[in-house]
A and B are shown apart, each in its own frame.
Chain A
Amino acid sequence: MVSRFPVLFGGICLSLLVLAALFAPWLATADPTTMDLPNRLLGPGPGHLLGQDALGRDIFSRILYGSRVSLYVGVVTVTVSVLLGTLIGAIAGYRGGWVDEALMRLVDVFLAFPGILLAIALTAVLGPSLNNVVLALCIMGWVGYARIVRGQVLLARELSWVEAARATGCSARRVLLRHILPNVMAPVLVEATFGMAGAIVAEAGLSFLGLGTQPPTPSWGAMLAEGSDYILFSSHLTIWPGVAILLTVLGINLLGDALRDRMQGTGRGGVLNNNAT
């Protein structure tokens, strides 16, 4: 029961995100961009479940619509990064030799840019917009998947059934697509789960800095940035978008952890812990 709780909680959080994104127009209690200046910064009350922001817009409705941005960034970034990373990793691992060497040096260069820095630099030069954020996140996102797939392909290509497939005259493409990749994608799936959480946080971070989603489109990161400006008077502007990000990321991380544990199995500490109890 205890071990099922994280998966259940994670599943509920992710379902809420998807439902909010899909049904935002029906669930929202107000238009997310309609301003109501006389009632700006008003706290939670009738008609405005979570209060109103600095321009009098309904925070609850903006959070609902903001989930669309987060889901879009998470899904598109992970899909493109997985496809690109798998392609590059599979070619490097299967071909080996100078192709592998060159591609892995390219990976090293990308790894020399820490986390969000490359995305910040790219959105700074390309211009602030949601699509440029996705582009920047994809440019830096493929690297992790490429490394995993390469490692897995290196191991798999020596296995007997892959040898057998090659011996029966299968082309390199067929061996990779039909025999190797379907069997090595489990760790990629785990990484993709964490990648989705990372992409959602990165978009919110870039929007917090003013480099991501542009007004009036609601984005959780941009809402937090606005909240920081009014933190002395109206804390509800800061609290609720943050709760939305936390629940989303926590839910995805819980599912990722559960997926990884299921695939790898977990250690329990052996004799030292048995003696401890």
Chain B
Amino acid sequence: MLGGVGVEQSVAMGAFLLRRLTTLIPVLAGVLTAVFLLIHMIPGDPVEVMLGEMAMPSDREALRHELHLDEPLLMQFGRYVRGISQGNLGVSLHSGRPVREVLAERMLPTLLLTLSAMGVALSIAFPLGLLSAIRAGTVVDHGAMIAALLGVSMPHFWLGPLLLLVFSVNLGWLPLGGMEGIDSFVLPAITLGSAMAAILTRMIRASLLEVMDREFVRAALAKGLSRWQVLVRHVLSNALIPVITVIGLQFGALLAGAIITETIFSWPGLGRLTVEAIQTRDYPVVQGCVMVICLGYVCASLIADICYAAADPRVRLR
């Protein structure tokens, strides 16, 4: 009997995974198409924009041929998709190196920064959200919610310079930029993670308050369990399920937010590469960066959905 239930659950999870993976097909096709079309959205002649007005006609023709811009659009798209499937993202116009290589060098710093920011966000949001919910309506709650509101409203590109001003320029405690040693992670991680911390604090508080209102919490208290037992065993386990989805979505947002944070702190990651590539009009690298960040975002939300389905059986049956 129990084995039957286990098999049923596995089948439901398998069906959920299949459904979820099927929805990825149009999304990935759309992302591929949008990234491919980026270069074609450049007003006027893309080759002239990349090389400048003073470029020799022969150089222009050479680049046009190299990027296959002299072929029909559909043929270009086919070549592009074939290239991607073989891991070929083109060649950087600036350095002449394969885009894949350039991106690979910059991925680890961005991943480390994003994970550190997430660590900062979670270690602030969980205690603060919990405290705020169990002390709802008190000064503690109001203080936490004001802090969260400030966190949501304060843009990265102001918080980053302010932190630099205080902790690097005035106090001299932390480095001004770059990625050298653990202390170089502190300010970028706080800058990037602050908004996520604020959003998660509000989310965790709201989710806990909603669960605390349910009948089963009243029943658990009525049968004599202590407040902490009810909170840990019944409230937290139910309230944190929807938070998983938000963490997944926010992880993707961190990847995009890294573009500005890395620029402020001269962080050698994908975000700064994106800005550098835009400034030097290195469009194959811009395309590569956009694609990798999008894929990271899609993967994060996929993993979040799978965790959500694993934690809440009702999701699998929808």
Question: Nearest Cβ distance between residue B136 and chain A, in whole angstroms?
Answer: 5
Task: Check A120/B149 contact, CB under 8 A, given A106-B30, A235-B165, A273-B134.
Answer: no
Over the window 213-230 of chain B, the binary record of Cβ atoms lying under 8 Å from chain A Cβ atoms (1 yes, 0 no) is: 110011001000001001
Question: Does A167 reach chain B (CB closer than 8 Å)?
Answer: no
> Contact at B41–A126, with CB atoms within 8 Å?
yes
> Contact at A276–B275, with CB atoms within 8 Å?
no
> Contact at A108–B27, with CB atoms within 8 Å?
yes
Query: Which residues of B sit under 8 angstroms from A126, Cβ to Cβ?
Result: 41-43
Query: Which residues of A sit under 8 angstroms from B154, Cβ to Cβ?
Result: 246, 249
Over the window 134-160 of chain B, the binary record of Cβ atoms lying under 8 Å from chain A Cβ atoms (1 yes, 0 no) is: 111110001000000110111111100
Please tell me which stretch of B52-60, B116-124, B184-192, B293-301 contacts chain A, meaning at least 4 of its Cβ atoms lie within 8 angstroms of it: B293-301
> Contact at A271–B153, with CB atoms within 8 Å?
no
> Contact at B253–A270, with CB atoms within 8 Å?
no
> Contact at A117–B294, with CB atoms within 8 Å?
yes
**Complex Cα distance A231/B169, Å?**
8
Please tell me which stretch of A48-56, A71-79, A205-213 contacts chain B, meaning at least 4 of its Cβ atoms lie within 8 angstroms of it: A205-213
Over the window 260-277 of chain A, the binary record of Cβ atoms lying under 8 Å from chain B Cβ atoms (1 yes, 0 no) is: 000000111111110111
Query: Which residues of B sit under 8 angstroms from A257, Cβ to Cβ?
Result: 149
> Contact at B260–A209, with CB atoms within 8 Å?
yes
Query: Which residues of A sit under 8 angstroms from B200, Cβ to Cβ?
Result: none
Task: Check A271/B218 contact, CB under 8 A, given A125-B38, A127-B43.
Answer: yes
Over the window 192-215 of chain A, the binary record of Cβ atoms lying under 8 Å from chain B Cβ atoms (1 yes, 0 no) is: 000001000100110011110000
Which chain B residue has the least Cβ–Cβ distance from A117?
A: B256
Which chain A residue has the least Cβ–Cβ distance from B33?
A: A109
> Contact at A114–B213, with CB atoms within 8 Å?
no
> Contact at A242–B158, with CB atoms within 8 Å?
yes
Please tell me which stretch of B7-15, B61-69, B95-103, B204-212 contacts chain A, meaning at least 4 of its Cβ atoms lie within 8 angstroms of it: B204-212
Please tell me which stretch of A23-31, A84-92, A155-163, A220-228 contacts chain B, meaning at least 4 of its Cβ atoms lie within 8 angstroms of it: A220-228
Over the window 90-111 of chain A, the binary record of Cβ atoms lying under 8 Å from chain B Cβ atoms (1 yes, 0 no) is: 0000000000000001101110
**Complex Cα distance A275/B229, Å?**
14
Question: Does B89 reach chain A (CB closer than 8 Å)?
Answer: no
Question: Does A18 reach chain B (CB closer than 8 Å)?
Answer: no
Question: Nearest Cβ distance between residue B39 and chain A, in whole angstroms?
Answer: 7
Question: Does B164 reach chain A (CB closer than 8 Å)?
Answer: yes
Query: Which residues of A sit under 8 angstroms from B164, Cβ to Cβ?
Result: 231
Which chain A residue has the least Cβ–Cβ distance from B23?
A: A108
Question: Does B90 reach chain A (CB closer than 8 Å)?
Answer: no
> Contact at A267–B161, with CB atoms within 8 Å?
no
Question: Nearest Cβ distance between residue A272 and chain B, in whole angstroms?
Answer: 4
Partner of B217, one of A106, A224, A272: A272
> Contact at A105–B41, with CB atoms within 8 Å?
no
> Contact at A231–B231, with CB atoms within 8 Å?
no
Question: Does B283 reach chain A (CB closer than 8 Å)?
Answer: yes
Query: Which residues of B sit under 8 angstroms from A273, Cβ to Cβ?
Result: 134-137, 209, 212
> Contact at B41–A272, with CB atoms within 8 Å?
no
**Complex Cα distance A16/B39, Å?**
41
Which chain B residue has the least Cβ–Cβ distance from A275?
A: B227
Task: Check A121/B38 contact, CB under 8 A, given A245-B155, A250-B149.
Answer: yes
Question: Nearest Cβ distance between residue B133 and chain A, in whole angstroms?
Answer: 6
Question: Does B174 reach chain A (CB closer than 8 Å)?
Answer: no
Which chain B residue has the least Cβ–Cβ distance from A221?
A: B157
Question: Does B113 reach chain A (CB closer than 8 Å)?
Answer: no
Query: Which residues of B sit under 8 angstroms from A201, Cβ to Cβ?
Result: 155
**Complex Cα distance A275/B158, Å?**
42
Over the window 294-311 of chain B, the binary record of Cβ atoms lying under 8 Å from chain A Cβ atoms (1 yes, 0 no) is: 100110000000000000
Question: Does B278 reach chain A (CB closer than 8 Å)?
Answer: yes
Query: Which residues of B sit under 8 angstroms from A269, Cβ to Cβ?
Result: 133-134, 136, 208-209, 212-213
> Contact at A250–B153, with CB atoms within 8 Å?
yes
Task: Check A271/B149 contact, CB under 8 A, given A112-B31, A125-B41, A245-B155.
Answer: no
**Complex Cα distance A273/B205, Å?**
12
Which chain A residue has the least Cβ–Cβ distance from B218?
A: A271
Task: Check A125/B294 contact, CB under 8 A, given A109-B30, A113-B34, A205-B157.
Answer: no
Question: Nearest Cβ distance between residue A15 and chain B, in whole angstroms?
Answer: 17
Question: By CB atoms of chain A within 10 A, which of B154, B156, B218 has the most?
Answer: B154
Partner of B134, one of A221, A224, A276: A276
Question: Considering the complex, which residues of chain A in the window 221-265 have a beta carbon less than 8 Å from any beta carbon of chain B?
Answer: 221, 224-225, 227-228, 231-232, 235, 238-239, 241-242, 245-246, 249-250, 253-254, 257
**Complex Cα distance A2/B143, Å?**
13
Task: Check A114/B256 contact, CB under 8 A, given A209-B275, A269-B209, A276-B227.
Answer: yes
Question: Nearest Cβ distance between residue B215 and chain A, in whole angstroms?
Answer: 9
Query: Which residues of B sit under 8 angstroms from A184, Cβ to Cβ?
Result: none
Partner of A272, one of B162, B231, B294, B297: B231
**Complex Cα distance A112/B292, Å?**
12
With A109-B29, A117-B293 given, can you name 5 additional A-B contacts, CB distance below 8 Å? Answer: A114-B293, A125-B41, A201-B155, A225-B157, A268-B137
6 closest A-B pairs by CB: A109-B30, A242-B158, A114-B256, A270-B213, A250-B153, A267-B209
Chosen A-B contacts, 23 in total, with CB atoms closer than 8 Å, are A105-B26, A113-B290, A114-B252, A114-B253, A114-B294, A114-B297, A115-B257, A121-B38, A126-B41, A205-B260, A208-B263, A210-B279, A231-B169, A242-B162, A246-B155, A267-B206, A267-B212, A269-B136, A269-B212, A270-B212, A271-B218, A276-B134, A276-B227
